[in-house]
Amino acid sequence: MRLHNRNVRQDVRELGALLGDVLEDQTSRRAFETVESCRRTAIEYRSGDLESREPLIAELEGLSPHQQRIVARAFTTYFELINLAEERERVRTIRTASQEGTLEDSLETAAAELGEADVETVRQVLDDVLIEPTFTAHPTEARRKTVKSKLREISTSLETVDERLLTDKEEGQVWRDVDAEVTSLWQTPQVRNRQPEPEDEARNVQWYLENTLFDVVGEVYDELADAIDEEVPGSLEIPKLFEFRSWAGSDRDGNPYVTPEVTANTLERQRSVVLEQYRDQLKRLSGVLSQDGSRIDAGSAFQASLEEDRERLPGTARTAEERYPDEPYRQKLKLMRERLRRVGDVRPGGYETVEGLRNDLAVIAESLRDNGAESVVDAHVDPIRRRVATFGFSLASLDLRDHQQKHTDAIAEALEAEGIDYHGLSEDERVEFLTDAVLQDEPVIDLERTTDLSDDAARVLDLFDRLAAWQTEYGSNAIDTYCISMTEEPSHVLEVLFLADQAGVVSLPEHSGIDIVPLLETEYALSGARRIMGTLFENEAYAQALEARGRTQEIMLGYSDSNKENGFLAANWSLYKNQRRLGEICDDHDVTMRLFHGRGGSISRGGGPMNEALLALPNSTVTGQVKFTEQGEAIAEKYANPRIAERNIEQMLNAQLRARKQALDQPEEEVPEEWVDAMETMADAARREYRDLLESDGFVRYFEQATPITVIEDLDLGSRPASRSGERTVEDLRAIPWVFSWTQSRCILPGWYALATGIDAYADDGGSMETLQEMYEEWPFFRTTLDNAALSLSRTELEIAERYAEMADDDLRERFFPRVTDEYARASELITEIGQREQLHTRDWLGENLERRNPYVDPLNMLQVYLLDRTHRTDIEERTLRLTVKGIAAGMKNTG
C-alpha cells in the first residue's frame, strides 16, 4: 500500500527552486545569481572542491549592504521552507512505520509490556500516571506569528500533494498556492519591529493547545484503550493521563510586564476558547444522537438529569422541545450548550464546575450503552469526555512563579508597619514566625494596604489578593500552583504559604488552594534538599497544607541554571543524585513526589528526546506523576503538526507507562558503587574545569567578543529581559541567551565542555575504559548523558567558531580558543570509544540533516561575523545582522 507520493529530496529540491524563482521575481537576476554563487561556493568547500572558505568570505564582504540583506533573507527563508520539508519527512516516517507495525515507542509496545503483569498492576500503573507538559514563554519563538501562519499554509499544501491522489490540474493549483505563500513570505518582515508582550506569548501557547492538542489528545487515549484491550484481560477504564499547564501570562520571575491584569486576561481568554470548543463538540454530537425517544428507554438517570436542566433553563427547554420533539439526547445537548454559554455569565444556570459537564456526558454515555449504542459512545461521546477531563474549563492550568527575594522583601515591608523586623530575623526565627502566623486565625497583614510599600512589594501583595478572586471566578484548578525561583531555605516556601493564607487561598487544616513548588537550581539548594524539604515536611503548618493537597509534593529542578553554574557533566550528575535524594526524603515522610523538570530546548538546558529522558530517571523517583517544561522553538517543532504532536505525546506516554511499571517491579535502581564513584570523580573534575574557565580573568570579555550576545540581548525574542540586573556577568546572564550565543557561533560549549576533563580524571584515578563502556551499555542515565553530549558535539563546527574567535582580542583568543578546541577534540574521541562506534551520534537522520543544512548555514555565519566585526553599522546593516541571527536559529533549529 502506497502511503506517499513524494520524498524529502524532492520537497527540498522543488521548494528551493520555487524560492529561487520568487527571489528573482522579487529582486533581480543579479541578486539571484549572487545568492546562487554563495550557495555553490559553500557547497564546494564542504565537498572538498575548495581548500578554504576565503572565496565565500570575500564574496560576502564585497557585496553592498543591500545585497547582503538579500543574501541573509534568502538563506533564512530557505531554512524556513526546508524545515517544513523535514517535518513532512518525519510524518512519512511515522505513518510508514505505523502501517508496517515497526513504530518504536508506540502505545502498542507499552501495552504489550504492561500485559506481562497482572491486571491489578496494570490498573495501578494507569491510575498512577499523570503527565503534565508545561508551556513557558521563554524563549519566545524567533519566528513572528505572521511568518508562522504562512509556513503552516505551505505545510498543509505539502501534505496535500504528498498524501492525496490529485489530477495534474489539482496539483498545479496546490503549487500555485505554495508559490503565492512563498511570495508573500518573502515580502513579509522576518524581524519583529517590537518586543512581544506577555499576552502575545500567552496567545502563542494557546494556539497549540486549541489548534492541535485539543484534537490530538483524544486520539492518543483511543489508541491506548485499543492497545490495552488487546493485551490485558478484562475491561479497564482509561483514567486521566494528561494535563496541560502554562507559564505564559503568569510567570513573573524577572518579567515586570506580567501584571495581574495580564494573568486575568489569560485566564478569561483560555476559558472562553475551551468553552467554545466544547459547544462546537456538543453541536456535532447533536448531529449524531438523533435517536427517537419513542423507540428507546433513555433511563431514569438520564431523564432526571434532563428534568433538572429543564428547571434550570425553562426558556431554552421549550425551544429544545419544539426543535427536537421526541429526541431526548438532542434536547439534553441543547441545554448543555446553553449551560456552557452561561459559565461566568451573570445569568443563572451555567455550569458551576467542570464536574457538572463531566457528569452530564457520563449520563448520556450510560444511557446510550443501555440502549445498545456502545459504538456510538466509543466513537463520539468518550472522546469529548476525555477532552473535558484533560482541559477542564481552563484549557491549560496556569502556574504562578516569582523569585523568592520578591516574597521576602514584600513580607518584610508589610511587617515593618506592624513593628516586626523580618529582615533581622534568623532563618529559624523566620520559620517559627511564619508557622505561627499561618496557624493563627487572625490575619497579620492587610494585602490591600499597599500605599506605603515599594512598587515591587505592592505587586506581590496585589497578586495574592487577586489569586483568591481568580480561584473563585475560574475554579481553583485554573490557577493552583505557585513556583518559587531560587529556593534555598525552608522560609522561602513558608513565605508563599503565609501570603496565600493572608489572602484566604489557604485555610488550615481544612483547605489549601495551591501547590507550593520550590525550584531547586543552585548547588547550595540541591545539596541542601534534605534540610529544606525535611524541615517543611516536619513543620506543623506546612504538614497541614500538604495533607490538604493529598500529600503530594511537587519539586522543580532547574536544568538551565544548574548547567550554567556547574557545566554539563557535573549538572547532569548533580540532578540525577538529587532526584534520588529527594525521592528518599519524600519516602521517609510518606509523601508522594512529583518532579517538575525545568528543561529547555537545547541539550545544555536539559533538552533532548523526552521519552529517553523519562526512561533514564532513577526508578525511585518515578511515582507516575511527572511534569516538564516545553519552551521556544521546541513547542513548534513538537506540536505544530498534528501527526508529530500525536507521536510526541504517544512517546511520552509509552515511556512513562513503562517507567512506572519498572519502578513498581524494582523500586530501587541497583547502580554499582563502582559506577557511582566513577561519576563522582568525573563530575568533580568537570565542575572544577568548567568553573575555572568561567572564572578566568577575561573570559567574560572573550564571550562578549566571540559570540553575538550583544545582538541577542537587543532582539525582540521575548517579553522578559535577557539579564536579571543588566550586569555583564555569566552569573547574571539568563541561561537562554548564554546558550543561544554559543549556538549562533557554532561552538555549543554549554552542551559538552569539561566532559573530557572529567573522563580523563577518572582514567588518571585508575578507572578503565571497559568500565565506562559497561556503564554506557547498561546504565540509561550515563548512556543518555553521553548521547546528548554527542548531539551537541555533532552540531558544533569549530572551523566556523574560529572565525568568531578571531573577533576577540589576540591575547583572549590565544588563551581561550585552544582550550575549547582541545576539550572538543578529546570529548569527541572519548565518546566514540566509550560508545564503541565510528561516529559521534547514533542517529542516521542527524547526519543527513547536518549534511543538508551546513552549507546553507555557513554563508549566514560568515556574514554575521563580518557585520559583528564592524565598528559602526548602518541601519540596514544592523537589520541584516539581526536577520542572520534568525536565519542561523532556523538553520540550527534552536534558539537555546
For residues 382 and 387, give the distance between their C-alpha atoms in angstroms, rounded to a whole number.
9
Q: What is the dihedral of CA 614, 619, 621, 623, to 10 degrees?
A: 80
Q: What is the dihedral of CA 553, 244, 736, 719, to 10 degrees?
A: -110
**Residue 161, pLDDT above cutoff 80:** yes
For the chain, the average pLDDT equals: 90
CA 604, chain centre distance (Å): 15
* pLDDT 10s digits, 74-91: 999 998 899 899 999 999
pLDDT at position 601 is 47
What amino acid is encoded at 885 in this protein? V
Q: What is the dihedral of CA 620, 626, 630, 634, to 10 degrees?
A: 60
- 3-state class (DSSP) for residue 475: coil
pLDDT at position 853 is 79
pLDDT at position 605 is 42
CA 416, chain centre distance (Å): 40
Closest-CA residue to 21 (of 190, 148, 151, 178) = 178
Please indicate, yes or no, whether the overall pTM of this predicted structure exceeds 0.85: yes
Q: What is the mean pLDDT of residues 159-180?
A: 95
C-alpha triplet 401, 406, 411: angle, nearest 5°: 115
- 3-state class (DSSP) for residue 235: coil
Are 769 and 680 within 8 A, CB to CB?
no
Q: Which of 91-100, 298-307, 663-672 has the lowest mean pLDDT?
A: 663-672
Q: What is the mean pLDDT of residues 53-71?
A: 94
Q: What is the mean pLDDT of residues 479-492?
A: 96
Ramachandran bin of 746, using left for φ above 0, alpha for ψ from -120 to 50, beta for the remaining angles: left
Are 753 and 789 within 8 A, CB to CB?
no
What amino acid is encoded at 590 in this protein? D
**Residue 719, pLDDT above cutoff 50:** no
For residues 444 and 574, give the distance between their C-alpha atoms in angstroms, rounded to a whole number.
39
Are 525 and 562 within 8 A, CB to CB?
no
* pLDDT 10s digits, 91-137: 999 999 989 989 888 999 999 999 999 999 999 999 999 999 999 87
What amino acid is encoded at 66 in this protein? H
What amino acid is encoded at 657 in this protein? L
pLDDT band, very low/low/confident/very high, at 200 (cuts 50, 70, 90): confident
Are 595 and 582 within 8 A, CB to CB?
yes
pLDDT at position 668 is 78
* pLDDT 10s digits, 722-781: 444 455 566 665 566 788 889 899 999 999 999 999 999 999 999 999 999 999 999 999
pLDDT at position 319 is 95
- 3-state class (DSSP) for residue 383: helix
Q: What's the Rg (C-alpha) of the chain?
A: 29
| C-alpha grid cell, residue 249 | 501570562
pLDDT at position 841 is 73
* pLDDT 10s digits, 248-286: 999 999 888 999 999 999 999 999 999 999 999 999 999
**Residue 353, pLDDT above cutoff 50:** yes
Closest-CA residue to 289 (of 299, 298, 301) = 298
Q: Which of 266-280, 310-324, 621-635, 666-680 has the lowest mean pLDDT?
A: 621-635
List CB contacts of 356: < 8 A, sequence separation 6 or more: 339
631 versus 159: the higher-pLDDT residue is: 159
CA 123, chain centre distance (Å): 29
For residues 715 and 720, give the distance between their C-alpha atoms in angstroms, rounded to a whole number.
11
* pLDDT 10s digits, 2-25: 899 999 999 999 999 999 999 999
Q: What is the mean pLDDT of residues 438-453?
A: 93
For residues 387 and 239, give the distance between their C-alpha atoms in angstroms, rounded to a whole number.
12
Q: Where are the beta strands (DSSP E) in 460-587?
A: 481-485, 506-507, 511-512, 515-520, 552-558
List 406, 564, 627, 893, catalytic entry? 564
List CB contacts of 458: < 8 A, sequence separation 6 or more: 450
Active site residue 406: no
pLDDT at position 723 is 46
**Residue 721, pLDDT above cutoff 80:** no
Active site residue 492: no
- φ/ψ (deg, to 5) at 221: -60, -45
List 138, 406, 577, 661, catalytic entry? 138
For residues 65 and 873, give the distance between their C-alpha atoms in angstroms, rounded to a whole number.
10
For residues 892 and 894, give the distance between their C-alpha atoms in angstroms, rounded to a whole number.
5
Are 138 and 720 within 8 A, CB to CB?
yes
* Structural element, H or E, at residue 533: helix 529-537
Omega before residue 667 within 30° of 0, cis: no
Q: What's the helix, strand, coil split of the chain in %, to 5?
A: 65, 5, 30
For residues 322 and 689, give the distance between their C-alpha atoms in angstroms, rounded to a whole number.
79
Residue 425 CB neighbour total at 10 angstroms: 17
